[in-house]
A and B are shown apart, each in its own frame.
Chain A
Amino acid sequence: MAGGVAAGLADHFGVDVFWVRLAFVAGTWVNGFGVLVYIALWRLLPQGDAADPEEPAGLASATRRGLRTPGRTSRLPGGDKGQTLALIVLGLGVLLLLEHLGWGLTAGLFWPLLIAVAGLALLWRQADEAQRQRWAGTSPDVPVLGLLLGSGGWAAVIRLGLGGVLLATAIGVFVAQSRGVEALGAVAIATVLALLGLALLLGPWIHRLSRDLAAERRERVRSQERADMAAHLHDSVLQTLALLQRHAGDARTVARLARRQERELRDWLYADSAPAGETLRAALTAVANEVEDRHDVTVEVVGVGDVPMDDRLSAMVRAAGEAMVNAAKHSGSDHVDVYAETAGSSVEVFVRDRGAGFDPDAIPDGRLGVRESILGRMERHGGSADVRSAPGEGTEVQLSMTLQERDEESSR
């Protein structure tokens, strides 16, 4: 409701958020126990990762420099508010009913408590948001007020003020009830004086401390980024440039080196792909890169859906790699298209070139690789392969396989 605790728990236990909220509301009937638990959890539970993972370096940089409009992804579930409101009203109703029946807290304690809880909730909520923003690193400077205010502007000030007033009212009501109204003035003045003194003593110190901390953190992050960047540029780009100069006369080598560097840089800037070997797509891409390096061709891999690798799929990837090598060596074309599709439990991989082609019924001796390492390998692992080609028409190898019992994690 307020801090997302119910939603977090629901997520954790895999139940609908409604039931968790109901449990909390029911908990409040027992002398406000639910509220206490809620607040405790809110304080103690770690905040989950924001749903938005870190952007790849290239995209983040493009966003920062205003080269692209970042995706507007609002993740606030809109229809949730009515339900929450209904729950709160229901909870309050039952609370009042219990009150009426004399089962709950005495009225003298109840109202101050309720107001105090509301005030605290507002204050903490504000601090919570300020903290989140600081973690996200959006507020550039963090003065001491910023700790509480964040960059929320007037809404934050109003919220903060309201929280403070509620809390003060709660204390006032409590004091008035226990000591009589006369004591109220004296207590209020004493409190204000004490707070002022504390603020004067500690304010500047806290202010400077927080500024220094923020500056230091920013500097550290920046220098780490710079170091990473420098290391990467040295490892790959600089080496490639040196190689390019040494091979300046050899067009094929230059093209190959440039292509490889492009791939690496692209990977580094924009990658979100799984580590090689973990999923079908990543494995195919790895094989395709190898073929590009060895045979002076470009291999473009396009994938739809993805699956985690297993033994049979690695056989399929090896067969696909063989088909790519064949296309690179024999077709005479300098471009190979690879398309992998996972739909439900069936996986298909197509490897296609627009080169010379051949007559598949008369596979010459030199092409024994096709029969053995592609057709044979697929059949041994329970899949199938089909070669379509005709002289002058290019070649397309189709590999198919059915996965067993993994339907729920297959495609997305």
Chain B
Amino acid sequence: MKSALTVVLVDDHQMFRTGVRSELGGSITIVGEAEDVDSAVAVILDKAPDVVLLDVHLPGGGGAEVVRRVHQRSPDRKFLALSVSDAAEDVIGVIRAGARGYVTKNITGPELVDAIRRVADGDAVFSPRLAGFVLDAFAGTIEVAQVDEDLDRLTEREREVMRLIARGYAYKEVAKELFISIKTVETHVSSVLRKLQLSSRHELTRWASDRRLI
């Protein structure tokens, strides 16, 4: 990107916000911070940042609530979820609410910058763990004819991409392994994200509540 990306940082731990602030120097400008759902919604609507870094657990209803409320007013705002909990229910919850990616809080600075940039470009960010969740949630055991079959199934290629990400491959490495371009990998991942958000498969919600964590 030409100009520095703007980010609003939403987390209820002051220490963590300070840490991220110091790590994201240079290419990224933090234009606002918030520590609960209400203030987050206000700051995000006010500052209109490129990306919102959003903690999954927040006073006032959690990260998913922030995404929902902001998207009612400003549907194009992009969210990257950050979490320390790793509980599938919450991760899938915030993604289904509309976040474009999920990373854990122990991610390194450069990786975080990379993830923010990717989300700002409109792509999705999947950690190996999220890819694992997705594969588990869309495991091919569903037999009942669904109304919208396309949304309820991953294509063979999408499954391959998810498996490689779960195995720890970066997008670049996935592209090389499958002999496709990085852009194509990004397209596949975005399409999986869309299915994850839109699929009404009841299995998906049931799965998420059955399995809270890996």
Residues of chain A whose beta carbon lies under 8 Å from any beta carbon of chain B: 52, 55-56, 58-59, 62, 65-69, 71, 73, 262, 266, 269-273, 281, 300-305, 337, 339, 341, 343, 350, 352, 354, 396, 411-412
Cβ-closest 9 pairs across A and B: A337-B168, A68-B62, A302-B132, A67-B57, A339-B167, A304-B135, A350-B167, A352-B168, A71-B209
Task: Count how many pairs of residues, one from A and one from B, have CB atoms less than 8 Å apart in the complex.
Answer: 107
- B64 at interface (Cβ–Cβ under 8 A)? yes
Cβ contact within 8 Å between B141 and A67: no
User: Which of A62, A273, A300, A412 contacts B57, CB < 8 Å?
Assistant: A62
Please indicate the chain B residues that have their CB under 8 angstroms from the CB of A271 in the complex: 213
Cβ contact within 8 Å between A304 and B60: no
Tell me, in angstroms, the Cα distance from A352 to B12 when the chains sit together: 35
Q: A68 with B213: in contact, given A62-B85, A302-B129, A352-B168 (CB under 8 Å)?
A: no
Please indicate the chain B residues that have their CB under 8 angstroms from the CB of A281 in the complex: 214
Interface stretch (choices B24-32, B87-95, B182-190): B87-95
Chain B 75-103: CB-based contact to A (< 8 A → 1; otherwise 0): 00000000011110110010000000000
Tell me, in angstroms, the Cα distance from A343 to B159 when the chains sit together: 13
Chain B 53-75: CB-based contact to A (< 8 A → 1; otherwise 0): 00011111111110000000000
Cβ contact within 8 Å between A273 and B56: no
Please indicate the chain A residues that have their CB under 8 angstroms from the CB of B141 in the complex: 411-412
Cβ contact within 8 Å between A67 and B59: yes
Residues of chain B whose beta carbon lies under 8 Å from any beta carbon of chain A: 12, 56-65, 84-87, 89-90, 93, 106, 128-129, 131-132, 135-136, 139-141, 163, 166-169, 205-206, 208-209, 211-214
Cβ contact within 8 Å between B85 and A412: no
Q: In the assembled complex, how far is the CB of residue A270 from the closest CB belonging to chain B, in whole angstroms?
A: 5
Tell me, in angstroms, the Cα distance from A412 to B59 when the chains sit together: 34
30 contacts between A and B (CB under 8 A): A52-B209, A58-B85, A65-B59, A66-B59, A66-B61, A68-B56, A68-B58, A68-B63, A68-B64, A68-B93, A69-B65, A71-B93, A73-B206, A73-B209, A262-B106, A272-B213, A300-B128, A300-B168, A302-B128, A302-B132, A302-B166, A303-B132, A304-B135, A305-B136, A339-B163, A339-B166, A341-B166, A343-B140, A352-B167, A352-B168
Cβ contact within 8 Å between B86 and A266: yes
User: Which of B56, B163, B208 contacts A71, CB < 8 Å?
Assistant: B208
Tell me, in angstroms, the Cα distance from A341 to B63 when the chains sit together: 30
Q: In the assembled complex, how far is the CB of residue B169 from the closest CB belonging to chain A, in whole angstroms?
A: 8
Tell me, in angstroms, the Cα distance from A270 to B85 when the chains sit together: 7
Q: In the assembled complex, how far is the CB of residue B65 from the closest CB belonging to chain A, in whole angstroms?
A: 6
Instruction: A68-B57, A305-B139 are known; give 17 further A-B pairs, CB within 8 A.
Output: A59-B85, A59-B90, A66-B61, A67-B59, A68-B64, A73-B206, A73-B209, A270-B86, A272-B211, A302-B132, A304-B132, A304-B136, A305-B136, A339-B132, A352-B167, A352-B168, A412-B139
Tell me, in angstroms, the Cα distance from A115 to B96 when the chains sit together: 50
Tell me, in angstroms, the Cα distance from A58 to B212 when the chains sit together: 11
Q: A411 with B139: in contact, given A300-B128, A339-B168 (CB under 8 Å)?
A: yes
Q: In the assembled complex, how far is the CB of residue B15 from the closest CB belonging to chain A, in whole angstroms?
A: 14
